[in-house]
Structure 1
Amino acid sequence: MRPLNDAVPPGISVRQLCLTLDQRPLFSELNLDIVGGAFTALLGASGVGKSSLMRVIAGLTPPTSGQINGSDGLPLAGRIAWMGQQDLLYPWLTVEQNVCLASRLKGKKADRDLAQHLLARVGLSHCARARPATLSGGMRQRVALARTLYTRQPIVLMDEPFSALDALTRTQIQTLAAEVLVGHTVLLITHDAAEACRLSHHLLVMGAAGIDTCPPLRGLPPRAADDISVIQSQATLLKQLSRLGG
Structure 2
Amino acid sequence: MTLALNNVSFEVMPGETFVLMGLSGSGKSTLLRCINRLIDPTEGEVWIDGKNIVEMNREELREIRRRKLGMVFQNFALLPHRTVLDNVAFGLEIQGVPVEERRKKAEETLKLVGLGGYGESMPSELSGGMKQRVGLARALTSDPDILLMDEAFSALDPLIRRDMQDELLDLQQRLSKTIIFVTHDLDEALKLGDRIALMKDGAIVQIGTPEEILTNPENAYVEKFVADVDLTRVLSASDVMRHPEPVARCTAGPRVALHLMEEHDIGSVFVVDRDRRLKGLVTLEDTLKAVRAGKGLEEIINTEIPTVALDTPLTDIISVIAGSPYPVAVVDDENRLRGLVFRGAILAALARKGEDINATA
- For residues 93-152 of structure 1, the C-alpha deviation after alignment (integer angstroms, 9 at most, x for no partner) is 111111001122344324222111111111111211111111111111111111110111
Q: Which residue matches 2:208?
A: 214
Q: Which residue matches 1:205?
A: 198
| SS of 1:31 mapped into structure 2 | coil
Q: Does residue 1:142 correspond to 2:133, yes or no? A: yes
Between Structure 1 and Structure 2, which shows a larger proportion of helix residues? 2
Aligned CA distance change for structure 1 residues 69 and 196 (closer, same or farther; 3 Å): same
Q: Does residue 1:73 correspond to 2:42, yes or no? A: no
Aligned CA distance change for structure 1 residues 206 and 95 (closer, same or farther; 3 Å): same
Structure number with larger C-alpha Rg: 2
- For residues 204-230 of structure 1, the C-alpha deviation after alignment (integer angstroms, 9 at most, x for no partner) is 10123534113455779x97694579x
User: 8 Å contact 1:196–1:203 — kept in the other structure?
Assistant: yes
Q: 2:312, 2:176 → 1: CA distance? A: 17
The equivalent position to 1:54 in structure 2, one of 16, 32, 53, is 32
Q: 1:190, 1:109 → 2: CA distance? A: 36
User: 8 Å contact 1:145–1:177 — kept in the other structure?
Assistant: no
Task: For residue 89 of structure 1, report the CA deviation from its aligned partner.
Answer: 1.2
- For residues 32-81 of structure 1, the C-alpha deviation after alignment (integer angstroms, 9 at most, x for no partner) is 112221111111121121111111111111111111102x4224541111
The unaligned stretches of length 5 or more in structure 2 are 54-60, 212-234, 237-308, 319-349
Structure 1 residue identity aligned to 2:123: P
User: 8 Å contact 1:118–1:146 — kept in the other structure?
Assistant: yes
User: 8 Å contact 1:37–1:184 — kept in the other structure?
Assistant: yes
Aligned CA distance change for structure 1 residues 74 and 227 (closer, same or farther; 3 Å): farther
| SS of 1:41 mapped into structure 2 | strand
Q: Does residue 1:172 correspond to 2:166, yes or no? A: no
User: 8 Å contact 2:26–2:199 — kept in the other structure?
Assistant: yes
The equivalent position to 2:180 in structure 1, one of 157, 179, 187, is 187
Q: Which residue matches 1:94?
A: 83
Structure 2 residue identity aligned to 1:118: T
TM-score, normalization: structure 1? 0.76
Aligned CA distance change for structure 1 residues 90 and 226 (closer, same or farther; 3 Å): farther
Aligned residue-pair number: 210
Q: 1:59, 1:150 → 2: CA distance? A: 21
The equivalent position to 2:154 in structure 1, one of 148, 151, 163, is 163
The unaligned stretches of length 5 or more in structure 1 are 1-22
CA RMSD of aligned residues (A): 2.7
Q: 1:127, 1:163 → 2: CA distance? A: 23
Q: 2:104, 2:94 → 1: CA distance? A: 18
TM-score, normalization: structure 2? 0.53
Q: Which residue matches 1:108?
A: 97
Between Structure 1 and Structure 2, which shows a larger proportion of strand residues? 1
Q: Which residue matches 1:64?
A: 42
Aligned CA distance change for structure 1 residues 165 and 216 (closer, same or farther; 3 Å): closer
User: 8 Å contact 1:39–1:185 — kept in the other structure?
Assistant: yes
Larger RCO: 1 or 2 (CA < 8 Å, sep 6+): 1
